[in-house]
Amino acid sequence: MNRKDQRCPCLSGDIYLACCARFHSGAALPSTAEWLMRSRYSAFACGDTKYLLNSWHPFTRPKRLELDEGISWRRLDIVRTERGGLLDKEGVVEFIAHYRENGIAAQQHEVSRFLKTDHRWYYLDAGPDNSAEQSMAV
Ligand SMILES: [Zn+2]
């Protein structure tokens, strides 16, 4: 199976090659916080830890990252965005990422913060109103 011809995991409607692949390969930079979020979600789905680390702000970037092989990412819902546009320096994206862990459906609900440094968006952290515990009950 060639992922490049498949629907992009971020569910933009485009095939992967025409969508997040250009960010993962470094051919393009996401112009908005939402696109960085989408491309990071796709990187989780593709297991692209290098991209996840590279798009993590140096302030908060972990030394290394290991993805849980038991998790398969199914769908990304962007709930809302605040700022994060072409002329902004910071942005917030609230999302719900749906996944299955060892066959059991679950979701991660997070309010992520993004910062732009040197014309490039980075993931900073999960904001203070992170409602992760709430999603555990779903
Ligand atoms: Zn995509």
Please write the tens of the pLDDT for every residue from 58-110.
999 999 999 999 999 999 999 999 999 999 999 999 999 999 999 999 999 99
Rounded to the nearest angstrom, the distance between the alpha carbon of 26 and the centre of ligand 1 is 14
* Residue range 13-20: mean pLDDT, rounded: 95
SS3 18: helix
Could you tell me the residue range of the domain that residue 107 belongs to?
3-136
Rounded to the nearest angstrom, the distance between the alpha carbon of 136 and the centre of ligand 1 is 26
What pLDDT score does 127 carry? 75
Domain tally for the chain? Answer: 1
Rounded to the nearest angstrom, the distance between the alpha carbon of 47 and the centre of ligand 1 is 14
What pLDDT score does 128 carry? 65
What pLDDT score does 129 carry? 60
End-to-end CA distance of the chain: 32
Distance (Å, whole) CA 138 – CA 129? 18
Rounded to the nearest angstrom, the distance between the alpha carbon of 127 and the centre of ligand 1 is 23
* Residue range 120-131: mean pLDDT, rounded: 81
- Fill in the DSSP letter of residue 94: E
SS3 45: helix
pLDDT grade, residue 2 (50/70/90)? low
Rounded to the nearest angstrom, the distance between the alpha carbon of 133 and the centre of ligand 1 is 27
**Residue 73 is part of a domain; what is its CATH number?**
3.10.450.50
Q: Is the per-residue pLDDT at 132 higher than 90?
A: no
What is the model's pTM?
0.89
Rounded to the nearest angstrom, the distance between the alpha carbon of 22 and the centre of ligand 1 is 9
